[in-house]
Copies of this chain bind each other. A is one copy, B any other.
Amino acid sequence: MPVRMQDVAQRAGVSVKTVSNVVNGYPHVRESTRRRVEEAIDHLGYRMNVSARNLRTRRTGMITLNVPELSLPYFAELADSVIRAADEQGWSVLIEQTGAERQRELEVLAGRRRHLTDGVLFSPLALGQDDLDHFDVDFPLVVLGERVFGARADHVTMNNVEAARAATAHLITTGRRRIAVVGAHAGEVIGSAALRLAGYERALADAGIPFDPALVGEAGLWHRATGAETMGRLLDSGTGIDAVFALNDAMALGALHALHERRIDIPGDIALIGFDDVDDVRYTVPTISSVDPGRDEIARTAVDLLVARIGGTTEPIRRIVPDARVVGRESTGDVRGDGERVVAVMPGRVEDTDVSPLPAG
């Protein structure tokens, strides 16, 4: 029932190999032959059986993107960027959600959930540095984020420490001294929370402001709800606060909500800055300043690295950090009304390691 190359070949009076050549754009095909084949393809409505080609070539032209969940704006926008970047190079993207569950994240690395794709972009959230060994996988893998460093896989990450330092420094520049943090993870050494907190501490140290643990609010999950709760706790604790650094934008949105509830003027009484620069922060009242970690570049870089690995490159493992920017808006008094102002730029970097990739299995 389905039309095969065989059928096309027959109608065009050529061999299947020639049809294959035409379909794949092989240049050395006589023009008249090509036209006959194309006519036959159109006439019969032939469509390539991609499974057969995949079996033969051992490639599928697809990659997997594993994220916690698309409901989180950061990951939705990341997925958007990844799909665009992949599409430009002719790749398709299969998306899986781990729900930030440890078990599912381990399954990603075990390859259990990698159905048909040539490689995996993985943004873990539950795994940590202790799970480093699990990242020695036998398929092309690029890691996103800051849960794990030093894995035997290319890694695209943010300029967390520097960006957090610049964000905090920006608050200090506007005269703030009592700067609260929303979203810390106690005891964490690496991970977005720990790194951003480290940047915060450095900025304080640079300015000679003592670190006050009472200003640091914990929040396990980085959602809007936890941001609102944590902000509420900090405000109700009676600690004097004149600025807030929310470690991501979802929590900044929640914090804004909690601040509004208490009729606190922003930025008059308290200034607010977030991290991620998701679309939402441009439409709140006031608009929220944030750190733009270079999402498009992260996506593009990650896809490039993965495609190169799929292509069999044996370059040493690399860690890439795109440029980041602190974007000032109303919540830090940088602009009035809409609009924004880039108040700091943290240049990215490329780190070549001397670690070779495992031979692809």
Contact = CB atoms under 8 A, between A and B. Distances in A.
Interface string A203-234: 00000000000000000000011001000000
A20 interface: no
A61 B116 CA distance: 10
A97 interface: yes
Copies in the complex: 2
Interface in A130-180: none
A4 interface: no
A321 interface: no
A76 B83 contact: no
A225 to B, nearest CB: 8
A341 interface: no
A350 interface: no
Interface in A1-33: 1-2
A279 B93 contact: no
A45 B92 CA distance: 27
A259 B53 CA distance: 57
B62 A94 contact: yes
B253 A61 contact: no
Contacts of A45: 361
A86 B242 CA distance: 47
Nearest to A259: B285
A282 interface: yes
Nearest to A286: B260
A91 B61 CA distance: 19
Contacts of A337: 261
B94 A93 contact: yes
A80 interface: yes
Contacts of A55: 49, 51-52, 54-55
B279 A254 contact: no
Interface stretch (A66-74, A119-127, A194-202, A311-319): A66-74
B224 A279 contact: yes
Instruction: Tell me which of A2, A71, A87 has the highest count of chain B C-beta atoms within 10 A of its own C-beta.
Output: A71
A53 to B, nearest CB: 9
Nearest to A287: B257
Range class of the A interface residue count: 35 or more
Interface in A242-293: 253-254, 256-257, 260-261, 279-280, 282-285
B83 A95 contact: yes
Contacts of A260: 285
A203 B279 CA distance: 34
Interface in A329-361: 337, 361
A283 B253 contact: yes
A111 B2 CA distance: 15
Contacts of A35: none
A76 B75 CA distance: 9
A220 B329 CA distance: 27
A300 interface: no
Contacts of A79: 70, 76, 79, 95
B261 A283 contact: no
A102 interface: no
Contact of A51 (B60, B77, B95): B60
A65 to B, nearest CB: 9
Given A55-B51, A284-B257, A92 B80 contact: no
A96 interface: yes
